[in-house]
Structure 1
Amino acid sequence: MLLRHTDYLHQRSGGMIGSLAHLIREAAVEAILDGTETITKASLARVRLDHAAEHQEHTRPALRGTLARAGSRR
Structure 2
Amino acid sequence: MKEAFKTLPWWVRWIAIPAIALAVFGTMLIGVITWVVGLLFRILLFAALVAILIFVVRKVTSSSSSGGGW
Length-normalised TM-score, structure 2: 0.32
More helix by percentage: 2
Larger radius of gyration: 2
